Amino acid sequence: MNRNEPLAFRMRPKTLEDYVGQEHVLGKDKLLYRTIKADRLSSIILFGPPGCGKTSLARVISETTKYKFYKINAVTSGVADIKRVVEETKNFMINPTGKSILFIDEIHRFNKLQQDALLPYVESGMIILIGATTENPYFEVNKALLSRSMVIPLHPLTQENILQILKNALIRKDGLGEYQIKIEESTLKKLASISNGDVRTALNGLEVAVLTTAMGEDGYITITDEIIKNSVQTRKAIFDKNGEEHYNNISAFIKSMRGSDPDAAIFYLARALNGGEDPMFLARRIVICASEDVGMANPNALVIANNAMQAVHFVGMPEARIILAQAAIYVATSKKSNASYLAINKALEDVKNKETGEVPMHLRNAEISGMEKLGYGEGYLYPHDFPGHEVEQQYLPDEMIGTKYYIKDENIDS
């Protein structure tokens, strides 16, 4: 065992039987399991958060395939590395099969030119691509490359998955099995929970805890909750303000306010703030929701949201979190109506696609003396001259008479 290798590296599985988690794609009756076992793999893109097992799965494939296996990292590699792999694959003396598996870690880091360089070889089947990415490949990988690959989503590991891996690490000789360690299962569960589905975080935390704790008089290294807390620090947040989680989280935030769930709205707000989201961006989303989803059911929501946005700009973090929370709760707990949203969308659709006619002459202004002789403004009834400050007259063009855009719903009082 190489002691210089981190525990997370040493604990990587070598076979499918060793692999823990991702049963939705690696269960024994699942397609990916069967293709790996039969060594009939086609190009795939593994997509999931850090520490969910993308690189470990690639390593399992490298141990089971008869094809030559290459691994490169998109951060430090380029087109020249791809060409080298292709040339070696073509060389019958080096590679009699004429095929290779190329694992590209962080494939989203490749630019369009680098990704395009792969296309002809992936298309011909000479290169079986395994791409790994933490970013949504539909955003980051060329469509041409995606169309020639199968996208495999990997999920954060469950607490039970991570607990199993931690227990294995404590007994395996290539793990921490050579140490005399005492640790309660409840402490292991807390470590699994803190890691938030990232097994690398859990294993790194366990290793730090063991290596920095002195042996007791009983000959054991005793790991407590407090030691684990100090070894892992804060709970790992699954959030990337520039990646897919940004879109997922803001979508959930808006839909929670729309769905009148203040607790969920506050949760996603906290998640965004903890992940470094711009407070002004969040404030703008609240303003939009106040108009789009609350609308005429409570017009004051827009006033509150707009004032909150100005206050966030004026005050800044960390106090801005309180202002955002107040505005989000107000919007979430308000009655909802999307009547204004529906009205403007329908009107825009008509304006774009229908013959909507001309503004009626009596509604036009005679801006210049003499225009009234052409009928501009003729016959206009001034509403304030009538009882209740209302009067019946035509406002829509002739072609649009009878069209209804604003339809009051049961949540609109006036």
Q: What domains appear along the chain, each with residue ranges and CATH number?
A: 22-153 (3.40.50.300), 159-232 (1.10.8.60), 244-333 (1.20.272.10)
Token code pair at residue 106: 């962080």
Angle between helices 262-274 and 320-333 (to 10 degrees): 150
Strands (E) in 61-205, as ranges, are: 68-73, 100-105, 127-133, 150-153, 181-183
From 219, 209, 214, select the one nearest 166 (Cα to Cα): 209
What whole-number distance in Å separates Cα of residue 31 and Cα of residue 154?
Answer: 14
Residue owning tokens 């036009």: 364
DSSP state of 285: H
**pTM recorded for the entire structure:** 0.65
Q: Which tokens belong to 89?
A: 């694959």
Residue 259's Cα: distance from chain center in Å?
20
Residue with tokens 């931690």: 166
Q: How far is CA 93 from CA 83, 97, 229, 322, in A?
A: 17, 10, 54, 68
Residue 217 CA, distance from chain mean position: 49
| Bridge partners, residue 300, by sequence | none
Question: How many Cβ atoms sit within 10 Å of the Cβ of residue 379?
Answer: 11
Q: Tell me the pLDDT of the chain (414 aa) as tens digits.
A: 456 788 988 988 888 888 999 899 888 888 888 899 888 888 999 998 888 889 999 999 988 889 999 999 998 888 999 999 999 998 888 888 888 999 999 998 888 888 888 899 999 989 999 999 988 888 888 888 888 899 999 998 899 999 999 999 999 988 998 899 999 999 999 999 888 888 988 999 999 999 999 888 888 899 999 999 888 865 555 555 556 678 889 999 999 999 999 999 999 999 999 888 889 999 999 999 999 999 999 999 999 999 999 999 999 889 999 999 999 999 999 999 999 999 999 999 999 998 888 989 888 887 777 777 788 888 899 999 999 999 999 999 999 999 999 998 888 886
Nearest to 303 by CA among 334, 341, 280: 334
Strands of 40-186, DSSP E:
44-47, 68-73, 100-105, 127-133, 150-153, 181-183
